[in-house]
Amino acid sequence: MSAEIFARNNDVLAICVQELNEILAEQELHEILAGVPLTPAHQASALRAAIALGYCRLFGADLGDEDGALPLPIAKAATTALHDLIDDAAKRAQTLAHDWDSTDEPIERDELCVRLLLDRMDIHAAYIAVNEALLEAYGDQEISWQEYDSSLQALTEKVEQLDAALQQPENLEILSTVAHLPLIENWRILLTEDHQGLMPWWLSGLLSEVAQVSMQEALKRMPSAGIWQAVARAVNDKEERQLAALKLLLLMTLRARVAAAPAGQPVIIRWVSPDGQYEAHCVLVQDKRPEQIEIVFMTRAGEPALRLSNQPVWLADLESKISAEGKAWFPSDGLLQALESGKPPCLAVGSSREVWEADLQSIPPDLVEALHHDSPSAQEAS
């Protein structure tokens, strides 16, 4: 792992730990431990705690001396809310094809898929934390083996039913349309070695494989070279796809968070200067809306880009200035308004407004090669 990737991973792990600590301080969790009658708000808080702890386990975050499993009352409350989250995701999985066909907006279609994958990852994280808590409670003789086994079995059955719905061929093909987004790769990179050895299906490369097969099948059904040329133009329009993906990530972060919804996971956006000497990084957390978006400018060696200090910078036509520490901030409200009014999420730096390219690959390189290889025009040339 390069020093650059290691530094970025540490930033994400720090966010995970901070989020867990913030959730553990919520009043609802203290009330659960005090034995008050539970409300949906208590259960939602418990689920957030389970999800946050689960991500710390998945990504190997160091929780220090205070590390430990969730207390049994919180784990039980989280289990109730987790059942509800699984049920909700299963309902949306059942209607995914219909919902997908009901809109022609690429961003709305991507949001349908990304939300399901985010929920599936949250369910995975919460399951890990709940299992850990119940197993420890059994070891401490707080619950019987039968209670532990029945609780986990009920969750497992629901998760398996959800996965069966998500892995229906039509749903897999739809979900594969977001396989190019950095979200999945970021998750995969952050997993500990132990969890990489037990890679869940949505991180295993299955979606990318389905996307490639779907594209190849579409090419085989093309009736003319003219249609191929239209598809090739869409595939090769890298800048447009990058901007669409970046806009999706920003909108998911900036739009108002649904009450009591578990926070999404960090996604790192990276821009590169045209000469390759500088980079800009931004960490976004879906459904956790910040007051402002922070972008950190650095050299390729990972040092603060001090030479860029005091330079003007624009994001979606909003202007800011790079600080002496190599950072720039953009107000969330203004940025959301600019994006929703149609402004492209371009990052431009310096008085000349030099555009930096977002490092988001719309189509994997091997798929692009396959497209060109299988295209009618390529076959005619051969």
- Which residue has better confidence, 319 or 12? 319
Q: Is the pLDDT of residue 1 over 50?
A: no
Q: How confident is the model at residue 308 (pLDDT cuts 50, 70, 90)?
A: very high
| pLDDT the model gives residue 3 | 38
Q: How confident is the model at residue 229 (pLDDT cuts 50, 70, 90)?
A: low
- In whole angstroms, what is the distance from residue 370 CA to residue 232 CA? 11
Compute CA distances 225 → 228, 363, 380, whole Å: 5, 21, 10
For the chain, the structural domain boundaries read 3-221, 222-382
- In whole angstroms, what is the distance from residue 199 CA to residue 121 CA? 12
| pLDDT the model gives residue 9 | 62
Q: What's the DSSP call for residue 133?
A: H
Digit-coded pLDDT (tens) for 33-47: 999 999 999 999 999
Digit-coded pLDDT (tens) for 43-90: 999 999 999 999 999 999 999 888 999 999 999 999 999 999 999 999
Digit-coded pLDDT (tens) for 148-180: 999 999 999 999 999 999 999 999 999 998 888
| pLDDT the model gives residue 154 | 95
The predicted model gives 106-120 an average pLDDT of: 91
Residue tagged 């009014």 (tokens): 341
- In whole angstroms, what is the distance from residue 209 CA to residue 169 CA? 13
Q: Is the pLDDT of residue 327 over 80?
A: yes
The predicted model gives 322-327 an average pLDDT of: 90
Q: Are strands 266-272 and 347-349 parallel, antiparallel or unpaired?
A: unpaired
Q: How confident is the model at residue 331 (pLDDT cuts 50, 70, 90)?
A: confident
- Which residue has better confidence, 283 or 176? 176
Answer yes or no: are the C-beta atoms of 79 and 87 closer than 8 Å: no
| pLDDT the model gives residue 220 | 56
> What type of residue is 60?
G
Q: Is the pLDDT of residue 378 over 50?
A: no
> What type of residue is 153?
Q
Answer yes or no: are the C-beta atoms of 301 and 313 closer than 8 Å: no
Q: How confident is the model at residue 366 (pLDDT cuts 50, 70, 90)?
A: very low
Beta carbons within 8 Å of 329's beta carbon, 6+ residues apart: 292, 293, 294, 295, 320
Answer yes or no: are the C-beta atoms of 59 and 191 closer than 8 Å: yes
CA triple 201-363-219, angle to 5 deg? 95
Q: Is the pLDDT of residue 255 over 90?
A: no
The predicted model gives 204-209 an average pLDDT of: 87
Q: Is the pLDDT of residue 365 over 50?
A: no
Q: Is the pLDDT of residue 287 over 90?
A: no
Q: Is the pLDDT of residue 2 over 80?
A: no
Tokens found for residue 106: 């690429």
* Inter-residue long-range contacts of 344-348, CB under 8 Å, 24+ positions, other chains counted: 344/243, 344/247, 344/316, 345/243, 345/246, 345/247, 345/250, 345/315, 345/316, 346/243, 346/314, 346/315, 346/316, 347/271, 347/280, 347/295, 347/313, 347/314, 347/315, 348/313, 348/314, 348/315
- Which residue has better confidence, 230 or 284? 284
- In whole angstroms, what is the distance from residue 64 CA to residue 110 CA? 38
3-state secondary structure of 16: helix
| pLDDT the model gives residue 254 | 57
The predicted model gives 213-234 an average pLDDT of: 54
3-state secondary structure of 34: helix
| pLDDT the model gives residue 36 | 95
Residue 14 burial by Cβ neighbours in a 10 Å radius (0-12, 13-18, 19+) = middle
Q: Are strands 347-349 and 354-358 parallel, antiparallel or unpaired?
A: antiparallel
- In whole angstroms, what is the distance from residue 184 CA to residue 202 CA? 8
- In whole angstroms, what is the distance from residue 139 CA to residue 126 CA? 20
- Which residue has better confidence, 143 or 344? 143
